[in-house]
Amino acid sequence: METFYANLPEGHVLKTLYREHEIILKTLDKIAELNTKIQGLSTVEDAENDLDKLHHLAIKVTESEPHHQREEQALFPVMIERGMAGPPTVMTMEHEPIRKYKHDLKDITVNYNGSSWDEIRTKINSTCTGLCEMLSSHIQKENLMCYPMAFQGISEEHVWQDMKKKCDLIGYCSFTP
Ligand SMILES: [Fe+2]
Ligand SMILES: [Fe+2]
């Protein structure tokens, strides 16, 4: 773990968000790997098993919704209040297309009857590639810029405690460590 996050106390809002990022990134690696495999297959029958695996990975990524909500409802409003409006505004805007990619992937990995294998494969490829690129670059921006900025700009312990309480109310992801 990067030193900044390793040095945060256990249960810190930012440490939990960072740990979730690590799991999301691993899931994205698996999605990219499976997509590469699927692109090499020649019939939908050959791909059924892998499409099912991809569907379950897509479900796992959609379960990151409470992560985005904790950012949007607990962390970002305090950053905006403190005059750090730029990064949270951009990050919130990015959540929308990311949500769409996740739900599209969940959908196209089951509802593909009636399309040709070429159509299915092309759609899978563009959705996987779009999701992986957009979500991993989003996570890098949060890890390297947005979260450290929040930590620097919010020095009062009680404000972090209040954010933590809000996070607890919103809830965690099925995969939160
Ligand atoms: Fe985010
Ligand atoms: Fe995030």
Question: What distance in Å separates the CA atoms of residue 12 and residue 16, rounded to the nearest whole number?
Answer: 6
If phi > 0 it is left, if psi is from -120 to 50 it is alpha, else beta; for residue 176 that is beta
Can you read off the two tokens belonging to residue 158?
């009680």
Query: What are the domain boundaries of the chain?
Result: 10-170
Ligand 1 centroid, distance to 45 Cα (angstroms):
36
Q: Which residues sit with Cβ closer than 5 angstroms to ligand 1, an ion?
A: 71, 91
Extended beta strands in the chain, E state: none
What homologous superfamily does CATH list for 10-170?
nmb1532 protein domain like (1.20.120.520)
Ligand 1 centroid, distance to 65 Cα (angstroms):
10
Ligand 2 centroid, distance to 11 Cα (angstroms):
16
- Can you give the pLDDT of all 177 residues of the chain as single tens digits? 689 999 999 999 999 999 999 999 999 999 999 999 999 999 999 999 999 999 999 999 999 999 999 999 999 999 999 999 999 999 999 999 999 999 999 999 999 999 999 999 999 999 999 999 999 999 999 999 999 999 999 999 999 999 999 999 999 999 999
Can you read off the two tokens belonging to residue 128?
């996987």
Ligand 1 centroid, distance to 71 Cα (angstroms):
6
